[in-house]
């Protein structure tokens, strides 16, 4: 018998039975809802994970899915959060004559830079624009700077022919000179490997290592003589360097020897290198104007030509695995998105600017206009 809209007529169940049926109905609805959630139905979004760091590469992951008889490698790259056309450059003046060469974001929020023109190590406070300079010694001509795990600034100083470390609290420099039989190495760049050993390059034909704990230093002759310039470490702790004059990339082996890896373009002038989160090596090619990538696991090279008659100097891969280069010919920092294989040039504030090195931290990409006495910043998280 049907039940009227008002519920005053028709068949009615006893109250006890009604309560039992309602309980049963509630259980069925709850179970059904759980089953749908488990089957991929509408559920609450999860909180995204933190941005990847060099120690925990997570921006790009390669997973292997096997479907007999073939194997498919799937590369997952999360989308960037900012459109390239929205990017702008902020400029921070440093003392006249500084000629800043390399930069290294400090753990306190500041930025270290090598004041090559004045022979000092500089430090910038971005929030105020305040700078300070630290004397490294008579004859200093610093080139590269990186930051150690404790916040200390490590400098490759061609004028002193030494590695110099500056404590961020005391600001006192400690000098590690190269051996007497290695004069005028023209020191360039440094990096820490996975064991905490500092590796460095000298453009006059050397590369070497320094154990910060013991002070023990070893210097090696580079293959093909002159050329070692940029150097970087992969997330797995391996070290690669670039030889500008030798036109090759070198992989440092456990015994200190160097395996030569040849980019596809002859005489390309590999200047700097950087690793992305998957361990691929990106190379800026000064002579050819190209940007190249080596996948060490497969020995596969990929090469892209920057727009125009480029002179590609620096290369850096940020926390989102976006690749950044500097181009002297267009006086720009250039963004490369390998998903679309598109370059976006961001003009420098001054001409010439001459950005020779790029480094960053999550949300920030830093460079130094060595010809204009300014540091420059591109914010990537706004």
- How many other C-beta atoms are found inside a 10 Å radius of the C-beta of residue 366? 25
Average pLDDT over residues 180-185: 98
74: which strand partners? 63
> To the nearest whole number, what is the mean pLDDT of the chain?
83
Question: Does a cis peptide bond (omega within 30 degrees of 0) precede residue 191?
Answer: no
Residue 95: inside a domain: yes
Backbone angles phi, psi at 25, to 5 degrees: -60, -40
Per-residue pLDDT, 79: 55
> What's the CA gap between 349 and 329, in Å, rounded?
15
Residue 69: inside a domain: no
Per-residue pLDDT tens over the stretch 306-361: 999 999 999 999 999 999 999 999 999 999 998 899 999 999 999 999 999 999 99
Residue 59: inside a domain: no
Residue 28: inside a domain: no
Task: Give the residue numbers spanning the domain of 164.
Answer: 88-379
Average pLDDT over residues 269-283: 98
Q: Does the pLDDT of residue 20 top 60, yes or no?
A: no
Residue 265: inside a domain: yes
Per-residue pLDDT, 78: 52
Average pLDDT over residues 147-170: 98
Sign of the torsion angle spanned by Cα atoms 303, 306, 310, 311: negative
25: which strand partners? none
Residue 331: inside a domain: yes
Q: Does the pLDDT of residue 7 top 90, yes or no?
A: no
Per-residue pLDDT, 46: 27
Residue 290: inside a domain: yes
Per-residue pLDDT, 185: 98
Q: How confident is the model at residue 375 (pLDDT cuts 50, 70, 90)?
A: very high
Torsion of the alpha carbons at 6, 10, 15 and 18, rounded to the nearest 10: -90
Q: How confident is the model at residue 8 (pLDDT cuts 50, 70, 90)?
A: very low
Q: Does the pLDDT of residue 25 top 90, yes or no?
A: no
Which of 1-5, 53-57, 177-181 has the highest mean predicted lDDT (pLDDT)?
Answer: 177-181
Per-residue pLDDT tens over the stretch 77-123: 455 656 677 899 999 999 999 999 999 999 999 999 999 999 999 99
Enumerate the H helices of 47-166 as residue ranges.
none
Residue 171: inside a domain: yes
Q: Does the pLDDT of residue 66 top 60, yes or no?
A: no
Q: What is the C-alpha radius of gyration for the chain, rounded to an integer number of angstroms? A: 28
Q: Which residue has the higher pLDDT, 155 or 53?
A: 155
Is residue 84 within 8 Å of residue 332, measured between CB atoms? Answer: no
Tokens found for residue 339: 């998903």
Residue 256 sits in a domain whose CATH number is 2.130.10.10
Is residue 136 within 8 Å of residue 177, measured between CB atoms? Answer: no
Per-residue pLDDT, 1: 34
How many domains is the chain partitioned into structurally? 1
Q: Residue 226 to residues 125, 158, 178, 247, 314: CA-CA distances in angstroms?
A: 37, 15, 17, 10, 19
């Amino acid at each position: 018998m049907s039940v009227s809209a008002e519920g005053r007529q028709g068949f009615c169940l006893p109250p006890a039975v009604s309560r039992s049926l309602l309980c049963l109905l509630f259980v069925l609805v709850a179970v059904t809802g759980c089953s749908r959630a488990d089957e991929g139905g509408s559920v609450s979004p999860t909180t995204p994970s933190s941005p990847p760091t060099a120690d925990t590469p997570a921006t790009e992951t390669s997973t292997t899915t096997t479907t007999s008889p073939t194997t498919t490698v799937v590369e997952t790259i999360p989308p960037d959060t900012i459109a390239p056309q929205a990017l702008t450059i902020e400029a921070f003046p440093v003392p006249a004559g500084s000629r800043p060469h390399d930069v290294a974001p400090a753990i306190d929020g500041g930025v270290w830079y090598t004041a090559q023109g004045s022979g000092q190590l500089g430090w910038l406070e971005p929030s105020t624009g305040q700078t300070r300079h630290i004397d490294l010694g008579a004859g200093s001509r610093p080139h590269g700077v990186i930051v150690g795990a404790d916040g200390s600034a490590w400098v490759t100083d061609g004028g002193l022919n030494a590695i110099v470390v500056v404590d961020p609290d005391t600001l006192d420099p400690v000098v590690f000179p190269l051996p007497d039989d290695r004069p005028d190495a023209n020191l360039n760049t440094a990096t820490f490997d996975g064991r905490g050993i500092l590796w460095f390059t000298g453009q006059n034909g050397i590369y070497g290592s320094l154990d910060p704990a013991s002070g023990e230093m070893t210097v090696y002759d580079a293959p093909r003589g002159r050329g070692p310039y940029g150097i970087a470490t992969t997330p797995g702790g391996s070290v690669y360097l670039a030889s500008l004059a030798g036109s090759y990339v070198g992989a440092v082996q456990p015994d200190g020897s160097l395996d030569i890896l040849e980019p596809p373009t002859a005489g390309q002038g590999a200047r700097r290198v950087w690793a992305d989160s998957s361990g691929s090596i990106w190379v800026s090619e000064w002579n050819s104007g190209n940007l190249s990538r080596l996948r060490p696991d497969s020995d596969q090279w990929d090469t892209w030509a920057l727009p125009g008659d480029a002179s590609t100097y620096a290369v850096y891969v940020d926390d989102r695995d976006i690749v950044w280069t500097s181009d002297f010919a267009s006086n720009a920092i250039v963004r490369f998105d390998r998903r679309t294989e598109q370059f976006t040039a961001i003009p420098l504030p001054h001409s010439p600017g001459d950005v020779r090195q790029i480094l960053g931290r999550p949300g920030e990409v830093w460079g130094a206009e060595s010809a204009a006495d300014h540091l420059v910043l591109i914010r990537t998280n706004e």
